[in-house]
Amino acid sequence: MRARSGMLPFVIALLVAACQTIQPSLAPISSPTGVSPGTVPSTSRPPATATPLPPIAEHWIGIRTVDGRGEFFDRRSNQRFVPRGANYLRLERNAAGAVVDRLFADYDPIGVEADLAAMRALGYTAVRIALENPRGLHRQPCRRPPVRVPHQHGRLPPPGPGRRPAGVPAVERPPRGGRFRAPGRGDVLRDVRRLHRDYWTAALEGLRAAGAPLEAIFAYDLRGELFVSTDTPPLSLRTGTITAANGTSYDLADDAARAQLVEDGIVHWVDEMAEAIRSVDPGVLVAVGEFAPNAPNVWRGEDPRAPPTIATFQKTTVDFIDVHPYPGYIPLDGLLQNMGVTGEESIPIVIGEYGAFTFAYPDPASGAAGVMHWQADSCEFGIDGWFHWHWRGSGDAEVWTGTEADGAINTVLSPRERRDPCATRGFPFLHENVAAGARVRASASAAGQGPERAVDGVAGSGWVAGDGPPQWIEVDFGGPATIETLRLVVDQSPAGRTVHVVSGGPSRDRLERLHVFDGSTTYGDELTWTPTAPLTGIRVLRIETTTSPSWVAWQEIEAIGRRD
């Protein structure tokens, strides 16, 4: 989930799923008791053309069961297939200041082909893009985008500047804001299921009619991140009975019935959209995506968006589930626990988005090290594939992109450089936070705020000594390391003068003074020190606070460098 918490701008909401302006409707077909329905515009699709569609070759990628678990395989070779790729976007700011994806709006066939060639050269096996407005698409980067046919076939000319690429159907999109138009007046939830279904049908029929190489499509993602909103009807209502699209009535005053309404509504919507896709492309895989719920491990502020756990999706007909855990909030195991991922699922689980937030990593090289470890750690939970966010760009307001710092992230996540995604390795350009997850001890700690919280990589958590100076915290890297930069995130109130003495050495009993921070600080400040030459042979680092107007505490301690 990119910037979907209350702490950050909601940029991702303007990209994947256009960004989530329409969520799957719980779609009542009758009003809550005592509520009068408004006029619902027709969502009927124009009569389909009688022109027969070209046949579809067998899709290259399927799913088979091995030891009780689903795994992807390549039908051409009968070998296991591991989707490893990137999200591919062309991000720009529009006149309103919103970040939008212009990949198809200003389609550049030469640039796209060059990027796909670069992906192939690094060994990537798949690429994830947004199809039209609110739909995610996975495909293998071995031909042109699925909306195009290779030029040598002579059937689809390249589009001109600013034109839609040939083969992309101009289908009607689901309406913006298709929920209650005036909740206070009791207007009922608009039934947009047919528009959603007709969108998929028209889009796929357009691709198929254009002769697009659909066999190269890995899967269609029904929704980049599916959730329901608790602050709009029907979930904002606490009285009345509602009859949903599945024909079942639910008592809005009963919590169990409300929970069942959500689950049944999601299952009904997902299955209906999956059926629409398979009616045009019977052999393709279908997925659905989500970000982590906010319980039991709280990781974002108050948020009316409520995604389900994967247990709900496992009751649907989707072939696999696409989850989006990003580093920088809480540890990976906490996010996956919230989603319900255990590693024992019978269908594949793919991480469709993960990336290096700029608030979590000071530069792209540090971000590259962080997401490499994040990917490797996810293997403990049986993850079956990965797509990082995102391939190209610079100056992104929120994440370090794959091409920055000479392609650091694209390189370290690539199959060419790391054949085994579950193993990490060193790269000469990496800036690794060697303090992350290291052994740590402190002079004192307040209850529930131990020193390990200062090296957990989680924004907002930290160590609190529970008393004023002098206090110290000591980090043991577990072996010698080279330190290029020290970064400390201040947790202090009130503001005032502080003095922090940094010592380091090969062992706890052989520490030397390295640096002193002396100045006025306040909560959230970052203290950074880059020595004139990298410090080598450092295993233990101690930060002792001798002067402070507050209890001694640190939000985060980062030692950027590499292990010797």
pLDDT tens digits, 456-514: 877 678 999 999 999 999 999 999 999 999 999 999 999 999 999 999 999 999 999 99
Confidence of residue 198 (pLDDT cuts 50, 70, 90): confident
Q: Which residue has the higher pLDDT, 151 or 350?
A: 350
Q: Which residue has the higher pLDDT, 444 or 147?
A: 444
CB contact at 8 A, 324 and 351: yes
Q: Which helix (H) or strand (E) covers residue 200, if one does?
A: helix 193-209
> If 0-12 CB within 10 Å is exposed, 13-18 middle and 19+ buried, where does residue 396 land?
buried
pLDDT tens, position by position, 98-134? 777 888 788 899 998 999 999 999 999 999 988 754 3
Of the candidates 278, 282, 352, 272, which has an alpha carbon nearest to the alpha carbon of residue 316?
A: 272
pLDDT tens, position by position, 5-37? 322 211 221 122 222 333 444 443 333 444 333
Q: Measured between alpha carbons, how far is 141 from 350 in angstroms, rounded to an integer?
A: 17
**Both tokens assigned to 365:** 């090289």
Asked if pLDDT for residue 255 goes beyond 50, the answer is yes
CB atoms within 10 A of CB 558: 26
Q: Measured between alpha carbons, how far is 38 from 188 in angstroms, rounded to an integer?
A: 6
Q: Measured between alpha carbons, how far is 495 from 493 in angstroms, rounded to an integer?
A: 5
| Residue 21 confidence (pLDDT) | 33
| Residue 1 confidence (pLDDT) | 57
CB contact at 8 A, 463 and 453: yes
| Residue 191 confidence (pLDDT) | 53
Which CATH number fits the domain 12-30+61-412, given the four candidates 3.30.2450, 3.40.50, 3.20.20, 3.40.1000? Answer: 3.20.20
| Residue 36 confidence (pLDDT) | 32
Q: Measured between alpha carbons, how far is 80 from 91 in angstroms, rounded to an integer?
A: 33
| Residue 301 confidence (pLDDT) | 86
Q: What backbone torsions phi and psi does residue 22 show, to the nearest 5 degrees?
A: -120, 120
Answer yes or no: CATH 2.60.120.260 is held by domain 432-563: yes
Calculate the average pLDDT of the chain. Answer: 81
Q: Measured between alpha carbons, how far is 354 from 386 in angstroms, rounded to an integer?
A: 8
Rounded to two decimals, the pTM is: 0.77
Asked if pLDDT for residue 252 goes beyond 60, the answer is yes
| Residue 83 confidence (pLDDT) | 95
**Both tokens assigned to 539:** 């295993």
Torsional sign, CA 418, 421, 423, 426:
positive
pLDDT tens, position by position, 294-343? 999 999 888 899 999 999 999 999 999 999 999 989 899 999 999 999 99
Q: What backbone torsions phi and psi does residue 176 show, to the nearest 5 degrees?
A: -75, 140
Q: Measured between alpha carbons, how far is 218 from 220 in angstroms, rounded to an integer?
A: 7
Please state the rounded mean pLDDT for residues 394-418: 91
| Residue 85 confidence (pLDDT) | 94
- Extents of the domains making up the chain: 12-30+61-412, 432-563
Q: How far are the Cα atoms of 228, 265, 307 from residue 304, in angstroms, in the given order?
A: 8, 17, 10
